[in-house]
Amino acid sequence: MMIQDILSKLIMEALNQAKLGGKLPIDGIPEIMLEHPREKAHGDWATNIALVLASKVKMPPRAVAQAIVESLNDTQGYLEKIEIAGPGFINFYLSSKWLYEVLSLIKEQGQKFGHSKVGADQKILIEFVSANPVGPMHIGHGRWAAVGDTLANVMSASGYDVKREFYVNDYGNQMDIFAESVAVRYAELLGQDVPFPEEGYRGEYIKDIAREIIAKEGDKYMAISKEDRQEIFKERAYMQILEHLKHTLQGMGVAFDFWFSERALHELSLVKKTIEELRKRGYVYDSEGAVWFKASAFGEEKDRVLVRANGEPTYFAADIAYHKNKFGRGFDRVINIWGADHHGYVARMKAAIEALGYPPEKLEVIIGQLVNLLRGGEPVRMSKRTGEMVTLDELLEEVGRDATRFFFLMRSTDSPLDFDIELAKEQSNENPVYYVQYAYARISSIIRYAKAEGIDLSGEINYNRLETESELDLIKKLAEWPEILERVSRQRAPHPLTAYAQELAAVFHYFYTKCRVVGEDKELSTARMSLSEATRAVLKSVLNMLGVSAPERM
RNA sequence: GCGCCCGUAGCUCAGCUGGACAGAGCAUCGGACUUCUAAUCCGAGGGUCACAGGUUCGAAUCCUGUCGGGCGUGCCA
């Protein structure tokens, strides 16, 4: 049971007690809000309950607070002190007894500390990245890879049953253009003069694919028809890109549970069937030779095309079928991570889901703002037209996985991210990744030393020897970890993790300068060693969630 | 035009369902290594929370409007 729950239960009991004693004429009990005060001088936890109740019971807030405090009965001795402060806040100061219990809990649970069952085994599907299989991943994909993977890590720790999925858009027009691009480069390399398609993919990698075909099989494909050539090249190039995507994701430390092919939807007629179902439900009509979805029935500004006049279904139609399939697979919630350039698509997708009879809130879409790549403060230009861009592979190569992931996870997804390559590469104090990793390496070093000096934690540990401010602050920071995990899960936003990692590292570094772990006093050394071990376990958990390595030495 | 996101210290950004004198990192300035990792620590300066109204006992946070930036507004994906 987390300390908030304990406190909130105590307050609730106090309210009932005060009511029975005639001190507070309340009807119901409002939700009890507890927070960490900004100021350390205001205690470890505070509640505004008296301020909330004051107007209802027509009493001055401080008098309400007084009545509550008088009725509060801390039987377990978790509280050191309770104060009424300011306009009527009640401030709680935790006793070290509770802090020591946190330490023994961490010792017992190790890296499982902070894990919970708030997710209640709800089945969650997180779909992210889903880069088109027509080229290498770009920087923006990297952000979604990091965010999606870390969110999945945290939600799993919070008791959700989470699966990661990559939707492969391996169908339709873009694949044809992709194939044509390869075919044209192939012909070009063999000395033919053919015009490059207007919308073609101009990246150098297209030429590489063509070169490889030539190297392996020469010019034999010039003998067959253009159509056959493109069909063969499409499959080859697709497979190659898909392998490449998997390789890049591996470099990011991301492993998907499922790779879902758009083609499969079409091959199994699921797109057609979904449109038919929508039609049966009365949300489809024909007009101007096309088939339309009545999005306007769900408050959308206009209706959307499902099947074009040329008979080809739209991407949207396939995506509806895809989402129907997701729910059909039994997921309670479906989370999609999309770039801001797709946000106009959210409402219509939700409309479609509603039209199919699913509650639209079962689909959660995280809209992430885009990434700006900088190098030493200067924007790096990228152009889809010329195919000139910095790929995620290059970034990983240059910056490394740890810094890449950490930087991608540092900001709220609501904020556009400035990713400065030079900064991320810098192995200096400007770089928060190393700051956190250094703390980990430092703890590891201390623990190695302590073990060598014969300190061991197998016997009784007298936690009450930990009594200075820097020690207690460190324990309090460790105690926050479950709150962070819960918050990240609830808000579906991983960026508090990096902030916490930095805070925990900072509190540890401070403890390190104030307290010597290994010393003459065996009992004290053991207690501090145990505190170090606890910090190491939690820091390791944080880094694991982030997908950043925890080096034993630096 | 309309929709979504954003506007907080010199820079990059936190600020959870409104709460007590607005936070962090970097940068700047000044200190700390005979002791378990100085990739560290301590201290200082630095803000009309874009602007104007409103709701509230209380607003960076909620509502309305204005200005500024990003993205979107396809029978593209």
DSSP letters of A146-184? HHHHHHHHHHHHTT-EEEEEEEE--SSHHHHHHHHHHHH
Distance CA A12, CA A34 (A): 12
Helices (H), A253-345: 262-267, 270-280, 315-328
Nucleotide nearest to A427 in CA–C1' terms: B39
Q: Is the CB of A41 under 7 A from strand B?
A: yes
Residue nearest to nucleotide B6 (CA to C1'): A415
Q: What is the mean pLDDT of residues A365-374?
A: 89
In this predicted structure, the answer to whether residue A301 has a pLDDT above a threshold of 60 is: yes
Q: What is the pLDDT of residue A466?
A: 95
CB < 7 A to strand B: residues 122-161, chain A: 132
Report the protein residue whose CA lies nearest the C1' of nucleotide B5.
A414
A512 contact to strand B (CB, 7 A limit)? yes
The residue that leads in pLDDT, A86 or A411, is A411
Between CA A380 and CA A382 the distance in angstroms is: 6
> Mean pLDDT, to the nearest integer, of A25-36?
82
The answer to whether the beta carbon of residue A442 comes closer than 7 angstroms to any atom of strand B is yes
Q: Is the CB of A46 under 7 A from strand B?
A: yes
A300 Cβ within 7 A of any nucleic strand B atom: no
pLDDT category at A540 given cuts 50, 70, 90 is very high
Using a 7 Å cut-off to protein CB atoms, list the covered nucleotides of chain B.
2-6, 12-17, 19-27, 35-42, 57-58, 70-77
**Domain A99-118+428-546 architecture:** Orthogonal Bundle (1.10)
User: In Å, how far from its chain's centre is CA A112?
Assistant: 19
Q: What is the pLDDT of residue A428?
A: 59
Q: Give pLDDT, residue A423.
A: 78
A252 touches strand B (CB under 7 A): no
Q: What is the pLDDT of residue A76?
A: 86
Q: What percent of chain A has pLDDT over 90?
A: 71
pLDDT at A53: 87
Q: Which nucleotide is nearest to A54 (CA to C1')?
A: B57
pLDDT at A272 > cutoff 60? yes
Q: What average pLDDT does range A55-66 have in this prediction?
A: 87
**Whether pLDDT at A499 is above 70:** yes
Question: In this predicted structure, what is the pLDDT of residue A419?
Answer: 86
Strand B closer than 7 A to residue A404 Cβ: no
Pairs from A513-517 (Cβ < 8 Å, separation ≥ 24):
A514/A468, A514/A470, A515/A468, A515/A470, A515/A471, A517/A446, A517/A450
Residue A427 binned pLDDT confidence (cut-offs 50, 70, 90): low
Q: Quote the radius of gyration of chain A (alpha carbons, Å).
A: 29
Give the closest nucleotide to A415 (alpha carbon vs C1'). B6
- pTM reported for the whole predicted model: 0.94
CA A428 to chain centre: 26
Domain range summary for chain A, segments of one domain joined by +: 3-94, 99-118+428-546, 173-242
Does nucleic acid strand B have an atom less than 7 angstroms from the CB of A445?
yes
- How far in angstroms lies nucleotide B33's C1' from the CA of residue A461? 31
Q: Is the CB of A173 under 7 A from strand B?
A: yes
In whole angstroms, what is the distance from residue A364 CA to residue A9 CA? 32
Query: Is the CB of A468 within 7 Å of strand B?
Result: no
Q: Does residue A430 reach within 7 angstroms of strand B, measured from its CB?
A: yes
A477 CA, B21 C1': separation in Å? 24
pLDDT digits (tens, 9 = 90+) for A212-268: 999 999 999 999 998 999 999 999 999 999 999 999 999 999 999 999 999 999 999
Q: A241 or A459: whose pLDDT is higher?
A: A241
Taking the C-alpha atoms of residue A352 and residue A229, their distance in angstroms, rounded to an integer, is 38
A89 touches strand B (CB under 7 A): yes
- Asked if residue A314 keeps its beta carbon closer than 7 A to nucleic acid strand B, the reply is yes
Q: Could you give the dihedral angle defined by the CA atoms of residues A456, A462, A464 and A470, in that order, rounded to the nearest 10 degrees?
A: 0
A369 touches strand B (CB under 7 A): yes
Confidence check: pLDDT of A309 > 90: yes
Q: Is the pLDDT of residue A384 over 60?
A: no
- Please tell us whether the domain made up of A3-94 is placed in CATH 3.30.1360.70: yes
Which residue carries 């999606």 as its tokens?
Answer: A148
pLDDT for the residue numbered A88: 87
Q: Locate A444 and state its tokens.
A: 């590891």
Q: What value does the mean pLDDT of chain A take? A: 92
Contact criterion met (CB below 8 Å) for A238 and A175: yes
Instruction: Tell me the CA–C1' distance in angstroms for A343 and B73.
Output: 10
Percent of chain A whose predicted confidence (pLDDT) is above 70: 97
Find where tokens 């096309």 sit: A290
Distance A450 CA to B10 C1' (A): 44
Please tell me whether any atom of strand B lies within 7 Å of the Cβ of A412: yes
